[in-house]
A and B are shown apart, each in its own frame.
Chain A
């Protein structure tokens, strides 16, 4: 297939009109959900219920309900936390970094992936809270004037984590909300339902599409994208500091920040791609979320997946090159020790399968990319498991080694986290526009003046 590179491919296919866009994006919110939706919701709610029961049991019994025990004090809880924070990173990358790079194909998927960012960070935030065992005391993590007159230790990576994740959530939420304001206004002017009209009037703040507003709005979007870009890099960097700043062999490495960020984008894109495959089919958005868009996402997965693979190799090389026996042991133990099965799951899912994306045929075949996306998420979950559990279970003195085996409650909470994420996502698809109406209109063909001397 020969490609003509002399003109840009249209981002939105099929030449829809502005009104078509308005109708097709608003339609899921104007129709009653069908049977399939309720079936999907009942599945995710069941998963969420399993998680809630497991968490309730944990609160009642204490952390002893989990498999964690010294020396493996961090296990499924922190693995899930890092995994879900990572999932969130794709959304900010799409909405902020690709915006700065003027990648127009992002418009079709930006809103949805921003939503996934917010839900993923909410899910992730749950884990440090339940991990402390007494989550209602988490307020101690913030610097507030208390009766003891003691302040928190600002040099602690765990405190950095609190600031990074809470800032990330707040900024992502604001970014998402200001993007929604014009769409709320469009919905306000469409709806015939009185209650919806009141809700949209409140949430749109009385937006009136004035060009005086658009002028500032565009600058604001640029500024926010400029802030969100270093922010998203800082969040997973700081998450990696939770490990890298400690002195444990296998954790104490300077490669962690870039390696974690690449891994986060990798798994996040896999998750976004998996979910979008369903969304574009169910809501008939194949012309907005095009195969070209999915192909571009697969290319990013190939790039970040290769970075992750390179990081695995570098870790082994550095362990050998450092001449540090403990470091060398840790890595040999990862590949051939009691958790070797987890290590090789991780390597095959993260490094080997995504290499299929070198072939255009696989990049554009939906069943194959879906399967690879699933593999990537499984692999990335195991990556965090391998890093956390293998390093802790065999650290320095063989006499203080231990083995970690998860309990039913651990699995229950893991299932519950997926339940929470997908429940929120399902509710999102029926309550808010999953594609940005205003942004998609602005990338349609003929959306801008054709002959405006020097402007274009």
Chain B
């Protein structure tokens, strides 16, 4: 059997009174590195061991304030600076309405922070390699006994003295505790085969799960954003209607609201003779006419009606609106072309209302006048 390194000498007591007396004596003698292990916190033990009060409360305070301030700053920053969004006409920073969230985050951050600080910073847990673990001593103090463990690292430590002292204090049992040699020699290996296999399996599992979730699962019912619904779509076959059409025809003889039959269909000369422009030449009307012209006419005829759009050369060239033919036409003829179409030009009666067509006509007249401006127009 190889030599074991001594960790501590332990004494077991079974009455709270005895352990308190023993601890007071050991503290009095000036031992520094010793521990008391009890199945529950015993009143008066802290003062017997001459321990200072715990500082954990201050950590809780700092964490709580951090939570509160972070929450308030974040709510102010997100709503006021980053993306101001006015909801219900309220200001973007509303302190009373932000208090619930700020309070919750105070509690959350304080709780998590305090517990993690205590467990990992103060206690340095998890620590299953401590020499006290898996000893009879630990089994007793976790059940119904109270124990003192005087460490060999204590400057005053002398094995025989401590054993005698504990016996003097009427300890029920006095036992030495040694380090476990296997635990001391154990060195974690990063390139262990098992560890590498674990990493590979973890990588495949997470990437596979992510691939499945984002590329397959999100396209399945019911996760697919309601892409498939029990309704008829236009252009699709309907199983509901006898004729198989999902799109329905209006009832025969239905007239749309505001519909006026156009009586000069394919009769340009009659239109030119009979139709008069009802629109008065005002800035407002011309402005509106220009907007419609730029939307519907300029893609072919160009912004100034010269036929110089980007379709020039790729198509039957769009005609200029400044030709003699167009200049000599009456308003009614221009209106007719917009309404009925001509050659390659489709009718625009669906896109433009009657009033809008007349405004476009007025605007074309303005363009024509502007292109052939007379001396007195400058005045």
Contacts and interface: CB of A to CB of B under 8 A. Distances in A.
Interface of A: 17-19, 22, 59-60, 62, 134, 136, 143, 149-151, 153-156, 159-160, 163-164, 167, 170-171, 174-175, 178, 182, 185-186, 188-190, 201-202, 205-220, 223-224, 227-228, 230-231, 234, 238, 241, 437-439, 441-442, 446-452, 455-456
B46 interface: yes
Interface string B26-60: 00000000011111111111111101011011001
A178 B40 CA distance: 14
Interface of B: 16-17, 20, 35-49, 51, 53-54, 56-57, 60, 64, 74-75, 78-79, 82-83, 85, 87, 90, 94, 97-98, 100-101, 103-105, 107-108, 110-112, 114-115, 118-119, 122-123, 125-130, 132-133, 138-139, 141-144, 221-223
A451 B43 CA distance: 11
A154 B97 contact: yes
Contacts of B47: 455
Contacts of A234: 100, 103-104, 107
A256 B98 CA distance: 19
Given A18-B143, A159-B101, A220-B118, A211 B125 contact: no
Contact of A447 (B16, B79, B139): B16
Contacts of A171: 107-108, 111
A59 B222 contact: yes
Given A151-B82, A446-B16, A448-B16, A212 B35 contact: yes
B101 A163 contact: yes
Nearest to A171: B111
Contact of A154 (B79, B123, B222): B79
Contact of B46 (A151, A190, A206, A211): A211
Contacts, number: 210
Given A167-B105, A171-B108, A219-B56, 15 more contacts: A17-B144, A18-B143, A160-B100, A163-B100, A167-B107, A170-B108, A182-B39, A206-B125, A214-B40, A223-B114, A241-B100, A441-B144, A449-B44, A450-B16, A451-B17
Given A59-B222, A167-B104, A439-B40, A205 B138 contact: no
Contacts of A212: 35, 51
Nearest to A440: B40
Given A18-B144, A174-B111, A224-B111, A452 B43 contact: yes
B43 A456 contact: yes
A205 B119 contact: yes
Contacts of A448: 16, 42-44
A248 to B, nearest CB: 16
A134 B94 CA distance: 30
Contacts of A136: 223
B306 to A, nearest CB: 44
A186 B39 contact: yes
A437 B79 CA distance: 49
A297 B376 CA distance: 101
A450 B144 contact: no
A190 B49 CA distance: 28
Contacts of B108: 167, 170-171
A227 B106 CA distance: 9
A97 to B, nearest CB: 15
A220 B123 CA distance: 13
Contacts of A18: 39, 143-144
Nearest to A22: B143
Given A171-B111, A189-B142, A153 B87 contact: yes
Nearest to A177: B115
B118 A209 contact: no
B115 A220 contact: yes
Contacts of A439: 40
